[in-house]
Amino acid sequence: MPHFRYTVVNKENKQLAGEIDAPDIDKARVELQELGFSIVAIEETNAGKLEPGTVFEFKGKDNENRTITGTIKSEEQYQAFKRLIKEYELDVQYIVQADLPEKEKAKLKTAGVKTLMKKYQEEVMKNTDKYHEKKFKKIDRNFEKQKALIMRQVDYVLGKVQEAVDGFAKELNPEDKQKIKDFVNRILRLKNTTNLEYLKNTSRDLLKFLQSAEVFSKGKSKIKQRLSLYAETEDMIDHIEKGKDFGVYEDLEDQLLRWQSEHIKGKKKIPLFDRAKNIVFTIIIRIIHQPKEIRKLNKELHFLNRELKQYYGVYLKTKDQTFRKESLESIKQLRIKKQKLKEKIQDLKAQERKRLQEMGELNYFEKILSSINELTGWLLFFYLVFYFVSSLIINKDLIFNSYEIPSIFYLFQSGLIKYILPLIFLLHITTSVKLHFFKKNMVSNIVLFPVFAIFSLLVLFNF
């Protein structure tokens, strides 16, 4: 078969050169164009002028999910593999030496490129500025975290697709069933791949195909089920594209509790920065905490709003008048349900406020004041301790000689502290007076906090 040497430009405007085997020059041009290259030059080469190297057979998928097979010449297999990934942007399924016996080639094709991919990932990591032990672990954790998310997405998608196939078994024609089955099999084969983006895109393509299947374009049966499935697939596609988890919602309290569980609970050695964050997060949790029943209803409201968004999306995007009419009806019903849910939440909040008032416990506003009071109290305490320790070290030469004292021990003498300390003191006094003498007096709010603001301005402009 004739050999052709080519010069092309890829999608990133990078110029590439190489060789290709093809029956004629026109076929060679077509193959290069199918790979997304712009051809700069192409010419047939004589056998004696061929570049040295080994010919490798390969198979992979391009960015548009097309199967690409061919040969590539390189000094070694790994270099050829890298070129296919970086220059041709292929998800390589196998790459084997062309002159090997057929049995050996078949065995190597089945084994795939797992070893080569691992070597490639290690090389990429080594070539980054972040390559040292801690950064490597961080990169690895991020990859595992992303992989875990995509695996959850994939499992969720496959479960929903199976429900759709079971629920619309009679409406789906054999061709659509087979196409869905092919998608599912491909996803299952890809579960061990390191190309997470390709796996994610394949799951999205499966959902898009399910939307375009005959069950959505013909027949009027099961209109509500079809609309619900269409809305769900739209929502899943949106979540896949944005990298969000399915069916998971965490309010702020959930997120903070999860952080504490991951970084604090059961840990023997906790970094100082994490300890400081934990103090702040504990105060925030105490401020925003709500009874379980109210939090549960708020989460229901979140999912109801998401469902409404799905139906609004269907109503605006679809051209099917039956879908539009049914979407509008579903939106009306969901809005009524949402209004009832909001009223129930407000009633529970009112009951909770009444309960707290009867028991003399702090309400939401008072919890904030209490937390500020506690925080400013600790800051003043730490300042006093630091002040006395620093004074002893500076004036008594207890630990260091006078010329060796670190500058941090002179911190309390800085101009910034002279501004910050009086403001913290004023805030602590204001919140203490409010909580201990005028807790339930609303008029005190009109007096105390403007007085705090005035004295704060005096401090800022007179120091």
**Whole-number Å distance between alpha carbons of 178 and 182:** 6
Give the pLDDT of residue 49.
47
Give the pLDDT of residue 344.
92
Give the pLDDT of residue 459.
72
Q: Which of 153, 134, 141 is nearest to 196 (CA)?
A: 153
Domains for the chain: give ranges and CATH numbers.
3-126 (no CATH), 133-239 (1.20.1270), 375-462 (no CATH)
**Whole-number Å distance between alpha carbons of 407 and 274:** 25
Note down pLDDT in tens along the chain; length 463 residues.
677 787 777 666 666 777 777 788 888 888 777 777 777 678 887 644 445 678 888 888 877 777 877 778 888 899 888 888 877 778 888 999 988 998 898 888 888 888 888 888 777 766 654 444 444 444 455 667 777 778 888 888 888 888 888 877 777 778 888 888 888 888 887 777 677 788 888 888 888 888 776 555 554 456 777 777 777 788 888 878 777 776 667 778 888 888 888 888 878 788 888 888 888 888 788 777 788 888 888 888 888 888 888 888 878 877 778 778 888 888 899 899 999 999 999 998 888 877 776 766 666 667 777 878 888 888 888 888 887 887 777 776 666 665 566 766 666 666 667 778 888 888 888 888 877 777 766 667 677 778 878 877 877 776 5
**Whole-number Å distance between alpha carbons of 140 and 54:** 34
**Whole-number Å distance between alpha carbons of 31 and 21:** 10
Give pTM, 2 decimals.
Answer: 0.43
Give the pLDDT of residue 136.
47
Give the pLDDT of residue 96.
92
